[in-house]
Amino acid sequence: MLTGQVALFCPGATAVALVMVIGYRAFVVGMLEIIYAIQYRRANTHPWLTGLAGLLSAVFGLPVVMYAFPDAVVSLAWLIGR
């Protein structure tokens, strides 16, 4: 009930939180799919499809997280460029 009231009265914060959850989930699931494709390549009939799905999921999830935290992207670029 409290979550619904927060979503009703703070829709901006709710939208940002939802985008972050979706981005993190897509990135983590993508990484786990890539690990699964590598470790169980003999048991799976098409491990490259599983790895490709994981790569696409991770590639989708990372920009979503980066757009949710633009300061983190600037900090990361600063660290890499240094």
pLDDT tens-digit readout, 31-54: 999 998 988 888 878 888 888 989
pLDDT in tens, 3-31: 788 878 877 777 777 777 777 888 888 89
In angstroms, the CA 47 to CA 29 distance is 16
- The tally of domains found in the chain comes to 1
Domain span at residue 71 reads 2-81
Query: Which stretch of 7-16, 59-68, 71-80 has the lowest confidence by average pLDDT?
Result: 71-80
In angstroms, the CA 43 to CA 39 distance is 9
What is the widest separation between alpha-carbon atoms in the chain? Answer: 52
Residues 6+ apart with CB under 8 A from 59: 30
